[in-house]
Structure 1
Amino acid sequence: MVNQLQQLKSMTTVVADTGDVEAIAAFQPQDATTNPSLVLKAIQQDKYAALAQEALDWAAQHASGAQQITRAADKLSVLLGCKLLAQVPGLVSTEVDARLSFDSLATIEKAHELLALYREQRIDTNRVLIKVAATWEGIQAARVLEQQGIRCNLTLLFSFAQARACAEAGVYLISPFVGRILDWFKKHAPEQDFDGERDPGVQSVSQIYHYFKQHQYSTIVMGASFRNIGEIQQLAGCDRLTISPALLEELANCDTPLVQKLRGATAAKARPSQLTQQQFRWMMNEDAMATEKLSEGIRQFAVDQVKLEALIGELLRG
C-alpha cells in the first residue's frame, strides 16, 4: 500500500520545514525552507559546528565590530541553505531578519546581500527564495524584488488581505500559517469543535487557494505551520505544503487512502482593483487574529534572531 506521504506528493509539492539535512534526506521533499528559529536550532547541534566556524571565520575577514555578528548570522543562514540545496532538487527559502519587517528599503538591501553570499558559494540564485514577513512594507519590498527578477516567499501570513496584497504585488509564493490560526481560535473559543473542515486555518488557506485560481493569479499557495496531519489531509491538492519532519514521518506511517481536497480548475473571474495601503491596513485592523498573530510571529522570529546573534557573539569572543 502506498503511504500518505507518497500519495500527497502525487497531488501537492511537498516542502520540508526544517534545517535538518538528515530529515530532508530521509523524506526527500522537493523544496526546503528555514527561518531564524530553525537556524538557531541548527547551530546548537554539534553536527553543524563546522558550518558555524566557517561563518565566523568569514565574518572575521569581511567585517568588524558589531557587523561581524550580523554578517556571520547571514553567512550561517546561507551556508545552511547551501546544505539544503544539495539535498533537494528544487528551491530553498532564506529569511530576511524579522527586525526589518517594517522597512521596505532595508529588506530589499538585505535580500541582495543574502543573494550575493549565495553567489559567493557558486549557487544558482534562481533556486533561492527570499523569505519576507507579509507586512505592508514587506509586500512592497517583495513587489520591487520580483520586478528585479528575485523571487520571494511571503511568510507570517494569516489573513485574506495579506494574501490578496501579495498576489497583486506579483509575489512568487505565500506561506499562510494554518496551525497558528488554529491556535488563536482554540484560545479564544476553547469550547468549539475545530476538527477537519471546521479548522479555521484550513478554511483560510482553502479560501485563498480558490480566490487565486478564480482570478488567475500565478502566486503559489504553500500551507505552513501545521499542528496535525488532519490539517494536511484537508489541504491535499494545495500548490505546496511545507511540513515538519515529525508530521512527514506520521504521513509516511499512514497508508489509508488520501482524498484530494483542493483542485485548480475553476471558472475565471475578473480581478478587482488593487488594494490600497489604507484598505489593507483597515482590513488587517478588522481582523484581530491576523493582527495579533502577525505581530507575535515577528516578535518571536526577532527574539530567535537576537539569540542567534548572541550565540555567535559568544563564539567570536571565544
Structure 2
Amino acid sequence: MNQLELLKKFTIIVADTSEINSICKYKPQDATTNPSLILKAVELKENRKFLNKAVEYAKKNGGSKKNQLTNASDKILVDLGIEILKYIPGYISSEVDARLSFNTEECILKAKKIIQMYEEQGISRKRVLIKLAATWECIKAAEELKKDNIFCNLTLLFSFAQARACAESNVFLISPFVGRIYDWYVSKNLISTFSYNEDPGVTSVCKIYNFYKKHNYKTIIMGASFRNIQQILLLSGCDRLTISPVLLKELELNNTVFNRKLIPPTIFLEPPRPLTEDEFRWEHNQDEMAVQKLSEGIRNFGKDQLLLEQIISKLI
C-alpha cells in the first residue's frame, strides 16, 4: 500500500486542481478551485471552449461591459465546476470574487447567483461549496448562506481567531493554509533549523483540530497549501486535506508506512463564549503573519480575477 492509499484510510482527500486528468488519476472525493487555478485552466488550449461559451453567455445576457465581464467570469467558474463534478463523487469548491471579501451582502448575492447557475444546469447545491476569504464579513455571509442550505468553504485562513470565529458561526468547512504560513516564517528567518515537527503551519492546524474536536464543533477542517508530503503526513487524520497533483504523485510513489497523527478526543468540553466582532478583529490583528498573508492572498486572487477579465474582454 502506498502512502496515498494509506492516507485515504484516515482522511478524505481533495484535489487542489482544475486539471481533469489529475482528478481522474488520483480519484479524490472532492476538488477545490481558486482564481489562480481557474486562470491557469482557461489558458490551456483544450479549455478554450469554456471561454467561448462564457463570452456567448455574457453577450446573450447583455448589459454594460462590466456586467458582461462579470457574467462571463461566473459562467467559466460554474462550467469548469460542472466539468470537474463529472469525475468526483463529492463537492466542488467555487470561489467568490476576492474583491467582495469585505462586503457581506455582496458575497451573499454572488454566492446565490453562483448556486442558481449551477442549479439551472441540474447540479444540486448539495454538491457545491462557495469559497470565501475568512474575513469577518465573509464569515457572517457564510453564516447567513447556511440558512438557505448554501454551504461555504472559508479559505485564506491563517489565524486561530479566524478558525474560532468560523466554528462559532457554524461555517461548513475551513481551509487553513499550511504552506503559506510556513513560507512567511521562512521569509522572516524565524525558522533557523527546520524541523517538520515544529512546522508553524502544521502546528496551526493541530491547534485548530484539537480546539474543534475538544469542544465538539461541527465545522470541517481541510488542511490546504502544502509544500511537501511531510506536512501532509503530520496532519493525517485531519477531516480533509486538499493536495496538489505534484504531491499526490509523490505520495503515490512512496511506500513508507506512517501512523495517523490527529486523533479526536473522547472527552468533550463546553465551548467558550463566541467572539464579538471587536474581539475577533483584535485577536486576528495580534497575529502579524495572518494579517499579512490574508491581505496578500486577497490581493493576489483579485489580480488573477482581473487577468481573467482582461482575457475575456478581448473576446467580447
Q: 1:306 aligns to what?
A: 306
* 2:172 is the alignment partner of 1:172: yes
Q: 1:61 aligns to what?
A: 60
Secondary structure at 1:236 match in 2: coil
Counterpart contact for 1:284–1:290, Cα < 8 Å? yes
Counterpart contact for 2:209–2:221, Cα < 8 Å? yes
Counterpart contact for 1:90–1:127, Cα < 8 Å? yes
Aligned CA-pair RMSD: 0.9
- Distance, in Å, in 1 between the alignment partners of 2:266 and 2:286 is 29
- Distance, in Å, in 1 between the alignment partners of 2:315 and 2:195 is 46
Map 1:217-296 to 2 at 5 A: 217-296=217-296
Query: Shift in Å at residue 266 of structure 1?
Result: 3.5
- Distance, in Å, in 1 between the alignment partners of 2:109 and 2:266 is 39
Query: Shift in Å at residue 191 of structure 1?
Result: 5.2
- Distance, in Å, in 2 between the alignment partners of 1:31 and 1:229 is 19
Query: Shift in Å at residue 71 of structure 1?
Result: 0.5
* 2:168 is the alignment partner of 1:145: no
* 2:21 is the alignment partner of 1:14: no
- For residues 81-124 of structure 1, what are the alpha-carbon distances to aligned partners after superposition, in whole Å with 9 as ceiling and x for unaligned? 00111110000100000000000000000000101110121111
Deviates more, 1:74-83 or 1:53-62: 53-62
- Distance, in Å, in 1 between the alignment partners of 2:55 and 2:258 is 46
TM-score by length of 2: 0.98
Map 1:177-188 to 2 at 5 A: 177-188=177-188
Q: Between the two proteins, what is the percent identity of the paired residues?
A: 51
Query: Shift in Å at residue 125 of structure 1?
Result: 1.4
Counterpart contact for 2:157–2:163, Cα < 8 Å? yes
Query: Shift in Å at residue 127 of structure 1?
Result: 0.4
- Distance, in Å, in 2 between the alignment partners of 1:24 and 1:191 is 34
Q: 1:52 aligns to what?
A: 51
Q: 1:107 aligns to what?
A: 107
- Distance, in Å, in 2 between the alignment partners of 1:191 and 1:122 is 49
TM-score by length of 1: 0.98
- Equivalent pairs, count: 315
Counterpart contact for 2:36–2:304, Cα < 8 Å? yes
Q: After the TM superposition, which parts of structure 1 deviate over 3 Å for at least 4 consecutive aligned residues?
A: none
- Distance, in Å, in 1 between the alignment partners of 2:57 and 2:21 is 25
- For residues 144-168 of structure 1, what are the alpha-carbon distances to aligned partners after superposition, in whole Å with 9 as ceiling and x for unaligned? 0112211110000001100000000
Map 1:196-235 to 2 at 5 A: 196-235=196-235
Q: 1:125 aligns to what?
A: 125
Q: Which runs of 5+ in 1 are unaligned?
A: none
- For residues 229-275 of structure 1, what are the alpha-carbon distances to aligned partners after superposition, in whole Å with 9 as ceiling and x for unaligned? 11001001100000000000000000110210001233201111000
Name the aligned partner's letter for residue 22 of structure 1.
Answer: N
- Distance, in Å, in 1 between the alignment partners of 2:142 and 2:170 is 8
Secondary structure at 1:315 match in 2: coil
- Distance, in Å, in 2 between the alignment partners of 1:138 and 1:107 is 7
Counterpart contact for 1:213–1:266, Cα < 8 Å? no
- Distance, in Å, in 2 between the alignment partners of 1:103 and 1:85 is 29
Q: 2:23 aligns to what?
A: 24
Secondary structure at 1:47 match in 2: helix
